[in-house]
Chains A and B, each alone.
Chain A
Amino acid sequence: MTAPTTLASVDPAGGAATAIETAELPIQGSRGYWGSVLRRLSRDPVAMAAALVILCIVLAAIFAPLIAPMDPFKGAMARRLRHVGDATYWLGSDELGRDMLSRLLYAGRLSLFMGVLPVVIAFFIGSGLGIVAGYAGGWVNTLIMRIIDVFFAFPSVLLAIALSGALGAGILNSIVSLTVVFVPQITRVAESVTVQIRNRDYVEAARVSGAHPFAVVRVQVLGNVLGPVFVYATSLISVSMILASGLSFLGLGVKPPEPEWGLMLNTLRTAIYVNPWVAALPGVMIFMTSISFNLVSDGLRSAMEVRQ
Chain B
Amino acid sequence: MNAPLRKAEAAPGLDEALVEVRNLTVDFLGGRKPVRAVGGVDFDLRAGDALALLGESGSGKSVTLRALMRLLPEARTRIGGQLRVDGHDVLGLGRRALAAYRGGTVAMIFQDPGLALDPVYRIGDQIAEAVVRHEGVSHAKGRARALELFERVHIPSPARRLDAFPHEMSGGMRQRAMIALALACRPKLLLADEPTTALDATVQIQILLLLRELQRDLGLAVIFVTHDVGVAVQVADRVAVMYGGHLVEVGSSGEVIGAPAHPYTRGLLASRITPESPKGIRLATIPGSPPDLSDPPPGCPFEPRCALAIPGCRDGLPTRVPVAPGHAARCIRIGEAA
- A and B: real partners? yes
Residues of A within 8 A of B (CB): 16, 19, 21-24
Main secondary structure of the interface of B (DSSP, over half): loop
* Docked-complex contact B292 and A19, CB < 8 angstroms: no
Which B residues are CB-close (under 8 A) to A19? 285, 287
A-B contact count (CB 8 A): 9
A19 to B284, CA, bound (A): 12
* Docked-complex contact A23 and B287, CB < 8 angstroms: no
A22 to B305, CA, bound (A): 11
Which residues, 285 to 309 on B, are CB-close (under 8 Å) to A? 285, 287-289, 292
Which A residues are CB-close (under 8 A) to B287? 19
Return the contact of A22 from the options B282, B285, B288, B292 (Cβ within 8 A). Answer: B288
Please give me the residue from chain A that is nearest to B285 by CB atom: A19
A24 to B288, CA, bound (A): 9
Would you give the 0/1 interface string for B250-293, flagging 1 where the beta carbon is closer than 8 Å to chain A? 00000000000000000000000000000000100101110010
A24 to B290, CA, bound (A): 10
A16 to B292, CA, bound (A): 29
Which A residues are CB-close (under 8 A) to B282? 16
Which B residues are CB-close (under 8 A) to A16? 282
Residues of B within 8 A of A (CB): 282, 285, 287-289, 292
A23 to B58, CA, bound (A): 15
A24 to B304, CA, bound (A): 11
A22 to B288, CA, bound (A): 7
Main secondary structure of the interface of A (DSSP, over half): loop
Please give me the residue from chain B that is nearest to A22 by CB atom: B288
A234 to B288, CA, bound (A): 45
User: Could you jot down 9 A-B contacts, CB within 8 Å?
Assistant: A16-B282, A19-B285, A19-B287, A21-B289, A22-B288, A23-B288, A23-B289, A24-B289, A24-B292
A19 to B305, CA, bound (A): 14
CB distance from B292 to the nearest CB of A (A): 6
A21 to B292, CA, bound (A): 15
Which A residues are CB-close (under 8 A) to B292? 24
Which B residues are CB-close (under 8 A) to A22? 288
A23 to B289, CA, bound (A): 6
Which A residues are CB-close (under 8 A) to B289? 21, 23-24
CB distance from B127 to the nearest CB of A (A): 32
A24 to B282, CA, bound (A): 25
Which B residues are CB-close (under 8 A) to A23? 288-289
Q: Given known contacts A21-B289, A22-B288, A24-B289, what 5 new A-B pairs fall within 8 Å (CB)?
A: A16-B282, A19-B287, A23-B288, A23-B289, A24-B292
CB distance from A288 to the nearest CB of B (A): 33
Please give me the residue from chain B that is nearest to A25 by CB atom: B292
CB distance from B97 to the nearest CB of A (A): 33
Please give me the residue from chain B that is nearest to A19 by CB atom: B287
CB distance from A21 to the nearest CB of B (A): 8
A256 to B287, CA, bound (A): 77
CB distance from A168 to the nearest CB of B (A): 52
Which B residues are CB-close (under 8 A) to A21? 289
Please give me the residue from chain A that is nearest to B292 by CB atom: A24
CB distance from B253 to the nearest CB of A (A): 31
Which B residues are CB-close (under 8 A) to A24? 289, 292
Please give me the residue from chain B that is nearest to A16 by CB atom: B282
CB distance from B232 to the nearest CB of A (A): 27
Which 8 pairs, one residue from A and one from B, show the smallest C-beta to C-beta distance? A23-B289, A24-B292, A19-B287, A22-B288, A23-B288, A19-B285, A24-B289, A21-B289
Which A residues are CB-close (under 8 A) to B285? 19
Please give me the residue from chain A that is nearest to B304 by CB atom: A24
CB distance from B76 to the nearest CB of A (A): 14
CB distance from A17 to the nearest CB of B (A): 10
CB distance from A69 to the nearest CB of B (A): 48
A22 to B287, CA, bound (A): 9
Please give me the residue from chain A that is nearest to B287 by CB atom: A19
Please give me the residue from chain A that is nearest to B295 by CB atom: A24
CB distance from A179 to the nearest CB of B (A): 41
Please give me the residue from chain B that is nearest to A21 by CB atom: B289
CB distance from A35 to the nearest CB of B (A): 16
CB distance from B62 to the nearest CB of A (A): 16
Please give me the residue from chain B that is nearest to A24 by CB atom: B292
Which A residues are CB-close (under 8 A) to B288? 22-23
CB distance from A293 to the nearest CB of B (A): 29
A23 to B292, CA, bound (A): 10
A21 to B288, CA, bound (A): 7
CB distance from A30 to the nearest CB of B (A): 15
A24 to B287, CA, bound (A): 12
A21 to B282, CA, bound (A): 17
CB distance from B138 to the nearest CB of A (A): 44
A19 to B288, CA, bound (A): 9
A23 to B285, CA, bound (A): 15
A16 to B285, CA, bound (A): 15
CB distance from B29 to the nearest CB of A (A): 16
CB distance from A169 to the nearest CB of B (A): 51
CB distance from B298 to the nearest CB of A (A): 14
Please give me the residue from chain A that is nearest to B291 by CB atom: A24
CB distance from B329 to the nearest CB of A (A): 25
A131 to B292, CA, bound (A): 41
CB distance from B294 to the nearest CB of A (A): 11
CB distance from A9 to the nearest CB of B (A): 25
A24 to B289, CA, bound (A): 8
CB distance from A99 to the nearest CB of B (A): 51
A71 to B228, CA, bound (A): 79
